[in-house]
Amino acid sequence: MKNPFLTGPAYQAFRKDIHHFVAQNIKPYAQEWEQTTQFPDHLLQLLAREGYIGLSLPRSVGGQGKDFWHEVIMAEEIARGGALGWVVSLLVQTNVAALLLYELGTKDQHQTVLKPALDGAGWLALGLTEPISGSHLAGAATTATVKDDQFVVEGEKRYITNGTIADHLIVLANIENHSHGSGLGLLVIPADTKGITRDRLPTAGFKTGDTAVIHFKNCQIAQTCLLGKPKASYLALLKALQRERLISAVAVNAVSQQVLDQTIEFLKTRQRFGEPLIKKQTIRHRVAELAARVEASRQCTYAVCHAFAQGQPVDTEIVMLKITAFETSQDVIRECIQLHGAEGFLETHWLQHVYRDSQAFTIAGGTSEIMRELLASMLLD
């Protein structure tokens, strides 16, 4: 079923353009980047040149002034490019970090941090997770204390997407002694500030991405690095994380569909017992069931996107999607590997890359366990 919200000619033309971009600049190289663990840094500038960054942000800050559905189309098309690690990097930049900067930033932060990020000249990272607190976001121990007219930042952030490549880090910290108040809040910190060390973490998947550990030791920054006001900016962060979950669900559904489509093509050509595998009843039933689950996930995601774009409250539904869309995708990927026989077990097979990536689907952006905890409290308390 076509998405009833995306049938207009402007959306179709936009999808065609992005599809072409992905076919030209990502698909032919993705497998090589994957195998050489290469972060395709240059793509950000290419995308920016085409006007594909900051799609839904206003033109006044360097965005494209389009609606949320353009972000949806973008997420679907780039997810099909085969470089999922990099896709995560882009979505963190465009659908969380840039958004927070736009909503909370001063004019100066818009000019010096947001604008270059939207121009493709700078990467952004969002440092929330800590070894000490992990899933318990509000338990962050990083501190930013005002001393001698400056903030002194101390702490450690782990598993941070874009951690080593970012030019600016948006960091969750306990703000202390600031005239705007104390409490959990955000800072936007130039990544080359003295006192910051960053190391790439060797992850099992997302080989085209960048995941890092970041240490802050006696890191002194100007008070103007505060992003929004403590407590209020923490609430804005929770809101931005919901949008990240929604747009990631869009991308993950696209991955599920692509994996299934390519598996169907494989089953049509693989001859066993005198006919293509796709003719076997048990295989047909498995494929049919997977197709039903992917379609249900996608249509539900579109419905939530529609409500979200209209400003309706969809927090509960987004948490539901964070569980169902991502777990559906993991199931689809696992089943499709089985349907490929030993070929799908080869380390260099494209499905193995997706399989390794998919292990992070139910961890990054909030684990399935935490999402169930959150959903239960939304529904039952």
Ligand X SMILES: Cc1cc2nc3c(=O)[nH]c(=O)nc-3n(C[C@H](O)[C@H](O)[C@H](O)COP(=O)(O)OP(=O)(O)OC[C@H]3O[C@@H](n4cnc5c(N)ncnc54)[C@H](O)[C@@H]3O)c2cc1C
C-beta nearest to ligand X: residue:
134
126 binds ligand X (CB under 6 A): yes
Select from 19-27, 37-45, 306-314, 359-367 the region that touches ligand X (CB under 6 A): 359-367
Residue 49, CA distances (Å) to 118, 162, 260, 268 in order: 10, 21, 33, 40
The first and second tokens of residue 17, run together, are 């353009």
Non-local CB neighbours of 33 within 8 Å, separated by 6+ positions: 39, 40, 83, 86, 207, 208
The first and second tokens of residue 262, run together, are 């390519």
- Residue 232: DSSP 8-state: H
135 binds ligand X (CB under 6 A): yes
Residues 336 and 205: their CA atoms lie apart, in Å, by 18
Residues 285 and 174: their CA atoms lie apart, in Å, by 53
185 binds ligand X (CB under 6 A): no
Contact pick of 95, 161, 352, 358 for ligand X (by CB under 6 A): 161
SS3 189: strand
Which one, 167 or 373, has the nearer CB to ligand X?
Answer: 373
Residues 211 and 158: their CA atoms lie apart, in Å, by 8
Window 76 to 115, contacts with ligand X (CB under 6 A): 92
Count the site residues for ligand X by CB under 6 A.
20
- Closest distance to ligand X from the beta carbon of 46 (Å): 23
211 binds ligand X (CB under 6 A): yes
Which one, 309 or 363, has the nearer CB to ligand X?
Answer: 363
Amino acid letter for position 99: L
56 binds ligand X (CB under 6 A): no
- Report helix, strand and coil shares of the chain as percent, to nearest 5: 55, 15, 25
Contact pick of 116, 134, 181, 190 for ligand X (by CB under 6 A): 134
Select from 1-9, 49-57, 129-137, 241-249 the region that touches ligand X (CB under 6 A): 129-137
Which one, 59 or 136, has the nearer CB to ligand X?
Answer: 136
- Closest distance to ligand X from the beta carbon of 174 (Å): 15
Residues 36 and 4: their CA atoms lie apart, in Å, by 40
Select from 71-79, 176-184, 340-348, 356-364 the region that touches ligand X (CB under 6 A): 356-364
The first and second tokens of residue 102, run together, are 């736009």
Which positions touch ligand X (CB under 6 A)? 92, 126-129, 134-135, 159-161, 206, 211, 360, 363-364, 366-367, 369-370, 373
